[in-house]
A and B are shown apart, each in its own frame.
Chain A
């Protein structure tokens, strides 16, 4: 791995309701590439993802120790501003959750809360990000329509555009295609592949075929521990660990 890490997790442990969810995680997520986190349900994939933008903080009875460095800055340092950390990362959740406002306002929401008030600047940003997610031609005539009128696939792309509009460095995807039809899934996957030129992308996925299609690196998590980390083909086709082999077997055969 010649790449310098963008996110560096060091001796990271998470306990929720006194259960040890993430055990001694150490990982370096490479810059400007797609990294997929795979593993069985309940293994801690999503918890790991949510620890990157500190959404984990809002979980009931959670205890966190260890470090997560983003651009060399420990995001769990008590002096760090949470909003500043989150601005660096866009999150794409399992199902699209458009904000209860128009298509335009959804994309403009992030820039607005971060202080951009200039109308023409906002117009430009909205157009730019809607184009980046391939939505512009579909919605340019109804920017003031409610975002909930869009199809679910369009909503998910809108949510991606909304995330990109705050100019993050990292995109986090939590099974972002699991609610979508195959066509929309494909569009989102292609977007991820294109976006890695400019962003570091971390995805949680259940679908090994998707992990293979879009990612450069794979992290295999099992029972709260990282079992294996490496380039996609290596982990999927030639895993070093017995557990990984077991898990990906269904995919290969």
Chain B
């Protein structure tokens, strides 16, 4: 009896400890960003583009990077969804009877999932060279799209697999074609689609390596797909590298902005997930 109690206590303490470490580091990270970033946070940071001498401590903001990041992460997520939804539907609704084929495709996306983002950056760069595109918003979107497609496909695939097969059968039994049944499934997984969007956007907006060569960097807000675009992670990187204290501080303020943008997107997605869950079985 004693042995069982000790075992119970031991693992309970272990679990509590692990939970404290994880949540503790979360608060530590957020706390650091806040304490270091807030003093340098001002309206200029989010409403102005870098002025002359911004990187040596003169006035300006990172609006160029905020807009650039939103364009790239948003564009890549939309483009990624357009490609991923059909893939996820195809694996689950059309070739489900052939396990080997669908599992092979799943394996491919698992491998893609694990590839470091710098590889997507390099691959995106090759595509750009091939088509003669310069480092630009378009280049960045293409590279980040490549990065988020595996995330989107795997998430959507998992979500579709949680839908009971009988729901699909119900639609098919009424004489629906596979595509019509797929539309019913898509309705059912709408909350899951928002989860996928959230994951993809979060990954896309935070990634540096994939946009390093492909998006370029500019102090201006891009007005067309062919202009280079700044991104928040790169802006943070450049500012942190500066010897000027003022600029380093602004790096933390930029990190704060990035965190808040992700937070807003998360809350928005959660609200949409709730709103569309009303038909859930």
Contact = CB atoms under 8 A, between A and B. Distances in A.
Given A86-B175, A113-B180, A114-B175, A97 B170 contact: yes
Contacts of A76: none
A110 B228 CA distance: 51
A89 B166 CA distance: 16
A6 interface: no
B176 A83 contact: yes
Interface in A60-108: 60-62, 83-84, 86-87, 89-91, 93-95, 97-101
Interface in A108-166: 109-110, 113-114, 146-148, 159, 162-163, 166
A155 to B, nearest CB: 9
A-side interface mostly: mixed
B173 A89 contact: yes
Q: How large is the interface on A (under 10, 10 to 19, 20 to 34, 35 or more residues)?
A: 20 to 34
A58 B172 CA distance: 10
A247 to B, nearest CB: 27
Nearest to B281: A148
A55 interface: yes
A147 B184 CA distance: 14
B17 interface: no
B187 to A, nearest CB: 5
Given A60-B96, A61-B99, A166 B175 contact: yes
Interface residues of B, number: 25
A58 B97 contact: yes
A163 B184 contact: no
Contacts of A89: 173
Contacts of B166: 93-95, 97
B187 A101 contact: yes
Given A93-B166, A97-B166, A100-B188, A166 B279 contact: no
B193 to A, nearest CB: 13
Contacts of B278: 146, 148
B174 A100 contact: no
B173 A100 contact: no
A122 to B, nearest CB: 14
A53 to B, nearest CB: 6
B174 A93 contact: no
Contact of A83 (B98, B175, B187, B281): B175
B164 interface: yes
A250 to B, nearest CB: 29
Given A146-B278, A166-B174, A91 B169 contact: yes
A148 B187 CA distance: 14
A172 B249 CA distance: 70
Contacts of B174: 86-87, 90, 109-110, 113, 162-163, 166
5 contacts: A86-B172, A86-B173, A98-B281, A146-B278, A148-B280
Interface of B: 96-99, 164, 166-177, 180, 184, 187-188, 278-281
Q: Which 10 A-B pairs have the closest CB atoms?
A: A87-B175, A100-B279, A91-B173, A110-B174, A100-B188, A83-B175, A86-B175, A97-B167, A100-B187, A97-B170
Given A90-B173, A147-B279, 20 more contacts: A53-B173, A59-B97, A83-B176, A84-B175, A86-B172, A91-B173, A93-B166, A93-B169, A95-B166, A97-B169, A97-B170, A97-B281, A99-B171, A100-B187, A100-B281, A109-B174, A113-B175, A114-B175, A159-B170, A166-B174
